[in-house]
Structure 1
Amino acid sequence: MRPRSARGEQTRASIVTAALALFRERGYEGTTMRAVADAAGVSLGNAYYYVPSKEHLILAFYDRLQEEHAAAAVDVLARETGFAQRLAGVEEVFVDLAEPYHEFAGAFFRHAAEPTSPLSPFSPESGPARAASAAIYREVVTGSGIKAAPGVLAELPELLWLAHMGVVLFWVHDASPGRTRTRTLVRRAAPLVEKLVRATRLPGMHGIADDLVGLVRSLG
């Protein structure tokens, strides 16, 4: 539910900001809608009007994180021209942005892992955040000029988004200081991804590339 007025958007943003602060302080399970309303300085009824449930707060968090990721990725994409550097760069800025939320991420990730949950990254409710994230990887691809089998190139942004979901899962379970293990993963995996993408142009890889594209499209 998205309010149309500027004042409504400001109120909703205040509620989401208050909720995220409480999530960091008390965790997802320990945060109530009443506490969120009190922290945002609105009535409980008003809080429910703008954000119908705690799950909607997390969906709003998804949206906000993707907006921040897109904004932070601008500098990386303007600076880097190589595919691997662009891919690793946008993943690292995501890790930077997500770091303040790592402590409570595992709690709502349990809900997101439930296939029927609106918090699932594959749910209809998560569609706007998913589309915004895929758009970042589309910029990674188009700005790099990487060469690949035509079918693979067309589906590559979605494939990179799926790989990003794997990075997020790794990040959730990463207890290393500053998520250094996640950072190592993205830095070392990006060149491998580039090699695999470029390899799809080789004659012996055409069949495999076509099978991969067919699989992705059949699941769409």
Structure 2
Amino acid sequence: MTEQSAPTTGADGPSGGSTARGEQTRQLILDTALRLFRERGYARTTMRAVAQEAGVAVGNAYYYFGSKEHLVQEFYTDIQREHRAAAASVLARERDFAARLAGVLHAGVDVLSPYHSFAGTFFRTAAEPTSPLSPFSAESSTAREASVAIFGEALAGSTAKPDPELRAALPELLWLGYLGVVLYWVHDRSPGQVKTRQLVDGVVPLVDRLVGLSRLRVLRPVTRQAVTLIHTLRH
């Protein structure tokens, strides 16, 4: 059940949304929510509980985040910022596509690792087709586009030469593959999720090989199918 959003309190918010203090309050609310998600689970964490634990008024919490789902969307967006920052060094250093892709995928696992204990809670909710927390929902578009852009950067700065028809669709295909890695990671109970790391290291050479072969005439029908798939998913 989705909590009802509360009305906002004004242009500047109860703590001054545009001020440094306001940003601190906003981050405090988000950090508190993530802690409660971990301790109590997503379903049992309410906006009132978050406000109480953060030591702010309920109306103040609702000013910064209109609902519990908004808290999670902000978490998604923050994760993408951290992902890009974690991948920055490998993207600056490497030009080989496989090395760049592996670096981006491992960076994604790195930034998710602190949240593994309660990732399943989000997954159960996000798996609902109508959930605003779904990675495919309109509400998740900001985080989704940021994530696709990371894979676009990994491709654009590399020496890879995929089929021209595939190039535009490839970042989104790589993002879909990343979702598969994340799903595996959610269920990975190996120490430190080492099996997820092994999955990344095993899959990247295959993807690199397929991208390189995509220019071959014999594989053009497969390339067109992949492009058609992306167009179908977008509309």
The TM-score bracket by the shorter chain reads over 0.9
Instruction: Tell me which residue corresponds to 1:5.
Output: 18
Instruction: Tell me which residue corresponds to 1:134.
Output: 148
The CA distance in 2 between the partners of 1:136 and 1:212, in whole Å, is 20
Query: 2:81 corresponds to which letter in structure 1?
Result: E
Instruction: Tell me which residue corresponds to 2:65.
Output: 51
The CA distance in 2 between the partners of 1:77 and 1:20, in whole Å, is 29
Instruction: Name the TM-score, length of structure 2 as normaliser.
Output: 0.88
Instruction: Tell me which residue corresponds to 1:207.
Output: 221
Q: Give 1:11 shift.
A: 2.3
Do residues 76 (structure 1) and 90 (structure 2) align?
A: yes
Instruction: Name the TM-score, length of structure 1 as normaliser.
Output: 0.93
Q: Which among 63, 66, 77 is matched to residue 63 of structure 1?
A: 77
Instruction: Tell me which residue corresponds to 1:41.
Output: 55
Unaligned stretches of 5+ residues in structure 1: none
Q: Give 1:35 shift.
A: 2.6
Do residues 125 (structure 1) and 125 (structure 2) align?
A: no
The CA distance in 2 between the partners of 1:219 and 1:26, in whole Å, is 35
Query: How big is the alpha-carbon RMSD for the aligned residues of Structure 1 and Structure 2?
Result: 1.8
Query: 2:109 corresponds to which letter in structure 1?
Result: V
Do residues 94 (structure 1) and 108 (structure 2) align?
A: yes
Sequence identity percentage: 57
Instruction: Tell me which residue corresponds to 1:21.
Output: 35
Instruction: Determine helix, strand or coil for the equivalent of 1:162.
Output: helix
Query: 1:128 corresponds to which letter in structure 2?
Result: T
Q: Give 1:182 shift.
A: 0.5
The CA distance in 2 between the partners of 1:215 and 1:105, in whole Å, is 28
Instruction: Tell me which residue corresponds to 1:195.
Output: 209
The CA distance in 2 between the partners of 1:182 and 1:132, in whole Å, is 22
Unaligned stretches of 5+ residues in structure 2: 1-7
Q: Give 1:37 shift.
A: 1.1
Change (3 A) 1:50 1:152: same
The CA distance in 2 between the partners of 1:57 and 1:88, in whole Å, is 30
The CA distance in 1 between the partners of 2:35 and 2:95, in whole Å, is 36
Q: Give 1:78 shift.
A: 1.3
The CA distance in 1 between the partners of 2:43 and 2:224, in whole Å, is 45
Query: 2:39 corresponds to which letter in structure 1?
Result: E
The CA distance in 2 between the partners of 1:65 and 1:145, in whole Å, is 27
Instruction: Tell me which residue corresponds to 1:170.
Output: 184
Deviation per CA, 1:27-65: give whole Å up to 9, x if none: 323323223112322111111221122221111110111
Range with greater deviation from structure 2 (180-189 or 81-90) = 81-90
